Amino acid sequence: SQQGEEDPQALSIQEGENATMNCSYKTSINNLQWYRQNSGRGLVHLILIRSNEREKHSGRLRVTLDTSKKSSSLLITASRAADTASYFCATDWGAQKLVFGQGTRLTINP
C-alpha cells in the first residue's frame, strides 16, 4: 500500500496543552499537506509544505518536514476544545493524486 502511517492513532490531552502528531510516508514527494476532519464532515485544508521546505507555521500550527526520514510532524500549540478532530497528512508526487495517512484522532479535554 502507498499509504503512509501516522502516530499516534489516537491522542487525548487537556485543553491548553500542545499536541504533536507524526506522519511517515514511503515514496519521494512534491508536497505534504495536513488536513483536519471533524466527525462525519469533509476535510479542511490546514497547511501545505513543499519538499524543499523544512518548517512552516500558520497560526497555532507548526509543520516540519524531514525528507531524509520521509516524515513530517504537526504541532498544535495551546490546544482548544474546537481542535478535537481527526488529522490526516497527505502526500503527492506530481501526479495530483493525494495519498492519505491513516490519521490521528485528537481529543481535547476541557
Partner 1 sequence: GAVVSQHPSWVICKSGTSVKIECRSLDFQATTMFWYRQFPKQSLMLMATSNEGSKATYEQGVEKDKFLINHASLTLSTLTVTSAHPEDSSFYICSATQGLAGLQYFGPGTRLTVT
Chain residues that interact with partner 1, rule: CB under 8 A: 3, 33, 35, 40-45, 48, 88, 96-103, 105
Nearer to partner 1, 15 or 92 (CB): 92
Nearer to partner 1, 77 or 102 (CB): 102
The minimum distance between CB 21 and partner 1, in angstroms, equals 14
The minimum distance between CB 70 and partner 1, in angstroms, equals 17
The minimum distance between CB 86 and partner 1, in angstroms, equals 8
Residue-by-residue DSSP string for the chain: ----EEE-SEEEEETTS-EEEEEE-SS--SEEEEEEE-TTS-EEEEEEEETT--EEEETTEEEEEETTTTEEEEEE-S--GGG-EEEEEEEE-SSS--EE---EEEEEE-
The minimum distance between CB 102 and partner 1, in angstroms, equals 5
Nearer to partner 1, 13 or 48 (CB): 48
